[in-house]
Amino acid sequence: MISVIMTTYNAGRTIRKALEGLTSVLSELGGDYEIVATDNESSDNTVEVLNEFGARVKVMKCTRGLGRHVAASMSRGDYLLFYDADAYANREQLYNFLSTAIKKGVGFSLAHSGVYIASRRCYSLTGGLPNLNFAEDFHFWARAFTLCKSLYYPIRVACNAPRLYAVRGYSSEHRYARDLFHFIFRQLKNEVHRLRGLALSPSEVAQVIRGGDPLMIGGLFLLGPLSSLIGDRVSRGFSNAELVYLQELKNMGKNRGRKP
C-alpha cells in the first residue's frame, strides 16, 4: 500500500485538482493506497475536499515538518509518498517515477520537483521529519540519501500551483498572515527554520551575507553568531543542502569529485 502524506492549510483553491491528478496516477498503478493528512486548522473547504477523497485527517496546529511526521505515524502503507496540496501532477512522469522507485525496491526516491517517496523502514531509519516549517525536507532528504538505498529522478513530476498563479498575485504565505507585521514576522521565522534545516556551513553562511538577501540575513541575526550550529548535520564536512546536491549528482552519475 502507498500512503499519501500531506499537510494542508486553506488549500481549497488547489487541493481538488492536486488530488484528482494524484489519485488518477495511483489508480493506474494498481494496488491499494490511502491519503493521510494533517490540517493546520483551515478556515475554508480544505478538510471537506480531503474527506471527499476518503482521506483520514487530523486537525492540529503544526509546522509542515511536524504535520507530515504525525501523518506518517498515522499511516499504514509500506511506502510513504509525500505530496503537496498545491502540486499538479504531470501524470505520465509521476507514474514513471513511482513505478520505477517501487520496481527497483529503493528505500528513498526524490524527483526534481520535490515529490518524494520512502519505504516505511527508510523513514524509521532517518528518524522522520523535524519540527520545522521550511527545509524540513532537506533535513530528511540528507538522511534518507545517506542511510537508505536511494534514487534521484531528475524530471519534474508535478508543478506547484504558486508557480502557475504567481502572475495573478498568488502567494501561499499570504494565507497565514493576519496583517503586514505578522507576515514579516512569519517570513523571518521561516528563514530561521530554513537555515536550521539546511544546516549551512560557515562558508555558505558567508555567501548568504554577501548575497544580501534581507530575509535570510534576518534569519541569521535571529539565530545569533553561532550560525554553524544551525540544524543537525548528517555529515561533518557538508551542510545538509550540499549533501543533498552531491547525492543528486551521484545518482545521476555526474559526481566524480567530492564524496560526502
Domain contains 169: no
- 82 in the same domain as 27: yes
Same domain, 31 and 113: yes
More confident residue, 23 or 178: 23
Does a structural domain hold residue 237? yes
Q: Is residue 28 part of a domain?
A: yes
What span, in angstroms and rounded, lies between the C-alpha atoms of 70 and 72?
A: 5
**Residue 170 counted as domain residue:** no
Element (H, E) at 84: none
In-domain check, residue 199? yes
Residues 136 and 252 occupy one common structural domain: no
3-class SS at 8? Answer: strand
8, 132: one domain = yes
18 and 63 together in one domain: yes
Mean pLDDT of 130-145: 87
Give me the pLDDT at residue 225, please: 43
Range(s) of the domain holding residue 39: 2-161
Same domain, 78 and 104: yes
Report residue 243's pLDDT band, with 50, 70 and 90 as the boundaries: confident
* Whether 239 contacts 205, CB under 8 Å: no
Question: Largest alpha-carbon pair distance within the chain?
Answer: 52
**Looking at the 3D structure of the chain, how many domains does it have?**
2
| Start-to-end Cα distance in the chain | 33
Residues 68 and 151 in one domain: yes
Which residues have C-beta within 8 Å of that of residue 207, sequence separation ≥ 6? Answer: none
Q: In this structure, are 185 and 120 located in the same domain? A: no
Lowest mean pLDDT among 76-90, 200-214, 224-238: 224-238
pLDDT at 145: 92
**Both 28 and 116 in a single domain?**
yes
Element (DSSP H or E) covering residue 158: strand 158-160
Higher-confidence position of 110 and 193:
110
pLDDT at residue 189 greater than cutoff 80: no
Whether the predicted model's global pTM rises above the 0.85 cut: no
Rounded mean pLDDT of the chain?
Answer: 81
| CATH code, domain carrying 108 | 3.90.550.10
pLDDT in tens, 56-70: 999 999 999 999 999
Please provide the size of the chain in residues: 260
pLDDT band at 83 (very low <50, low <70, confident <90, very high): very high
Average pLDDT for 197-210: 65
pLDDT of residue 256: 43
pLDDT band at residue 169, thresholds of 50, 70 and 90?
A: very low
Domain boundary among 161, 187, 219: 161
In angstroms, the CA 60 to CA 70 distance is: 10
Q: Are 132 and 193 members of one domain?
A: no
Phi, psi of 131 (to 5 degrees): -80, 70
Q: Does residue 232 lie in a domain region?
A: yes
Shared-domain flag, residues 114 and 16: yes
Q: How much is the pLDDT for 213?
A: 62
Cell readout for 114 is: 520535490
Please report, rounded to a whole number, the percentage of residues in the chain having pLDDT higher than 90: 52
**Which residues, at least 6 apart from 256, have a Cβ–Cβ distance to it below 8 Å?**
none
Final residue in a domain of this structure, among 98, 131, 161: 161
Q: Does residue 197 share a domain with residue 137?
A: no
